[in-house]
Amino acid sequence: MPVNGGVLQGRESEVVAGVHPQLFIGGKWRDAEGQKTFAVEDPSTGETIAHVADASVADGRAALDAAVEAQSDWARTPPRERGEILRKAFELITARADDLALLMTLEMGKPLSESKAEIAYGAEFFRWFSEEAVRINGRYAVAPNGATRLLTLKQPVGPCLMITPWNFPLAMGTRKIGPAIAAGCTMVVKPAGLTPLTMLALADLLTEAGLPEGVLNVVTTSSTGEVMEPLIRDPRLRKLTFTGSTPVGRKLIEQSAEGILRVSMELGGNAPFLVFEDADLDKAVDGAMLAKMRNVGEACTAANRFLVHESVADEFGRRLAERMGAMSIGRGSEDGVEVGPLVEGKARDKVAELVSDAVETGATVLTGGEVPDGPGYFYPPTVLAGVSPDAQVFREEIFGPVAPVFTFSSDEEAIRMANDTEYGLVAYAFTESLARAVRVYEGLETGMVGINQGVVSNPAAPFGGVKASGFGREGGAEGIDEYLEVKYVGLAL
Ligand code: NAP
């Protein structure tokens, strides 16, 4: 099977050639039915860099067969053993961070520094859950009438299906795989078609860390809906965990109703970034750079709407435009590059369309706003001032390096504007007043809030949203509960 399209240089070809481009089922690498494959592109050039196995419905079923077969033995494995596998995998990822980061940059486009940061963040979920594996506890209580004893214990949910997006090819996987391994669940993982290579490399690494066969199975496919639906409807599957867009999440919740699956949904966002009149503007601009430019804006947590008090909006917009306008754009694997391409042409067109719409409804472009010539799917860091709340960017996830600035005149208006969206993943607020910060974070309808900080992601904290941003939490002490069922035993005396 051709792996390398021949456009890569030196170490780039080696890291791509080091990936098994096949399906990983029952501990074995194998071709898809009929040896079918699909192409993986480098978004900075549009060139094919690899071909990976294109699973059929039967291949998908074989992966679930393997997960089901491995489940009961795996559930009985001593927790310490499961924890040690995760710990070893954390160490292997950390030792190979440079190669994994390069692989991720090649298939996804983000700069190497960003890929390295994701590798560290993604590995941390394995370390965190290696420590949680040995803390799966129950309770013991005397019933109020004194006649019985109430015991609770936690047991693995059972075989899980994990569907992940392209924007964080490693971390969106490890924050599901880590707790599932810790809890004693087996799994089928379906990485995004645009970025399957990092997950295939991770499967190899988990095998090296000692994960028994059948516990993790990886299926890559270009017929996603067709291959996933029968698995979701298969009565042997017990849980679906999905990270991706809200429309796909809605569809998958419907499909999960048939098997009454345990479901976790990490969906889209439309994060407000609030800057109050008493904010420290240096901190706010630093925070904005992180909240907007991390992952080139291709993050569910990316600040989507900058809501700034009218008295500081001009100054904030000017300073943000200066910083964003000075960033260097280029192929992610080149030294010093801070802004890589967007993941595909469609994503870039959508960003360009949102900017045109904002300008047509009255916004001023402070920096950026022009699509550069090809190759690659680049879009420059862009700041828009005086944006109307009627512009599409107020409602839609931008998923690119565009910062629209809206204004407000009172705290009440700021909170009302922040909550005026179907989404509720994260919000950021900058103020030097503790009392205002408390009023604001209590009033925001989101699963997470960053006060005077532009990043909230942390493996030790419960990540997740409310409203159309989904339900369930990943990371923190809560993360493992998504993979455990509580059983209550009544013990009569
Ligand atoms: P997407 O189109 O929903 O795809 C996500 C995953 O779902 C991919 O693996 C995709 O496979 C698969 N998929 C697509 N259609 C499917 C179907 N009918 N049945 C089963 N699986 C299906 O989202 P995306 O564009 O990759 O990711 C961006 C979205 O993810 C944004 O909305 C972002 O906010 C959200 N996100 C949320 C979080 C969070 O934690 N809340 C984190 C990261 C991203 P293919 O690749 O083969 O299409």
C-alpha neighbours within 13 Å on the C-beta side of residue 441: 16
Going by alpha carbons, the residue nearest to atom 46 of ligand 1 is 192
Alpha-carbon torsion (293, 458, 94, 46), positive or negative: negative
Tens of pLDDT along 184-219? 999 999 999 999 999 999 999 999 999 999 999 999
Q: Which of 124, 185, 300, 482 is catalytic?
A: 300
- How confident is the model over 232-273, as pLDDT tens digits? 999 999 999 999 999 999 999 999 999 999 999 999 999 999
Angle between helices 281-293 and 313-325 (to 10 degrees): 50
Confidence of residue 3 (pLDDT cuts 50, 70, 90): very low
163 Cα to the center of ligand 1, angstroms: 7
CA-to-CA distance for 442 and 5, rounded, in angstroms? Answer: 52
Q: What is the pLDDT of residue 8?
A: 87
Average pLDDT for 421-433: 98
Q: Quick one: pLDDT band at residue 4, thresholds 50, 70, 90?
A: very low
CA distance 104 to 167: 10
- Cα of 485 from ligand 1 centre, angstroms: 26
pLDDT tens column, 278-330:
999 999 999 999 999 999 999 999 999 999 999 999 999 999 999 999 999 99
300 assigned to active site: yes
332-341 per-residue burial string, b: 16 or more CB within 10 A, e: under 16: bbeeebbbbb
Mean pLDDT of 353-358: 98
Query: What is the pLDDT averaged over residues 402-418?
Result: 98
Does ligand 1 come within 6 angstroms of the Cβ of 320?
A: no
Average pLDDT in the 52-64 region? 98
172 ligand 1 Cβ < 6 A: yes
Q: Which pLDDT score, from 0 to 100, does residue 349 have?
A: 97
| Statement: residue 401 has pLDDT above 70 | yes
- Residues comprising the chain, all counted: 493
Tokens 């944006």, residue located: 387
Strand partners, 17: none
Q: What integer pLDDT is reported at residue 1 of this predicted model?
A: 29
CA of 198 to the centre of ligand 1 (A): 16
User: From the candidates 107, 266, 298, 474, which is the catalytic residue?
Assistant: 266
| pLDDT tens digits for range 75-98 | 999 999 999 999 999 999 999 999
Q: pLDDT at position 17, please?
A: 96
pLDDT of 205: 98
| d(C-alpha 363, C-alpha 427), whole Å | 23
Cβ(397) – ligand 1 distance below 6 Å: yes
CA 243 to centroid of ligand 1, rounded, Å:
6
- State how far the Cα of 182 lies from the Cα of 313, in Å rounded to an integer: 47
Look up 185 and say whether it is catalytic. Answer: no
Question: CA of 125: how far to CAs of 66, 146, 274, 318, 457, in Å?
Answer: 25, 42, 29, 38, 11
Q: In testing the pocket of ligand 1, which one of 163, 241, 348, 395 has its CB within 8 Å of the most ligand atoms?
A: 163
Give the pLDDT confidence of 135-170 residue by residue, as tens digits. Answer: 999 999 999 999 999 999 999 999 999 999 999 999
Q: Tokens in use for 60?
A: 């998908």
Query: In the predicted model, what is the mean pLDDT of the chain?
Result: 97
Flag whether pLDDT at 344 surpasses 70: yes
Q: Confidence class of residue 9 from pLDDT cuts 50, 70 and 90?
A: confident
Separation between Cα atoms, residue 319 and residue 224, nearest integer Å: 43
Q: How far is CA 452 from CA 40, 319, 414, 435, 445, in A?
A: 39, 17, 16, 14, 18
Q: Check if the beta carbon of residue 66 is closer than 8 Å to that of residue 394.
A: no
Q: What is the structure's pLDDT at 319?
A: 98
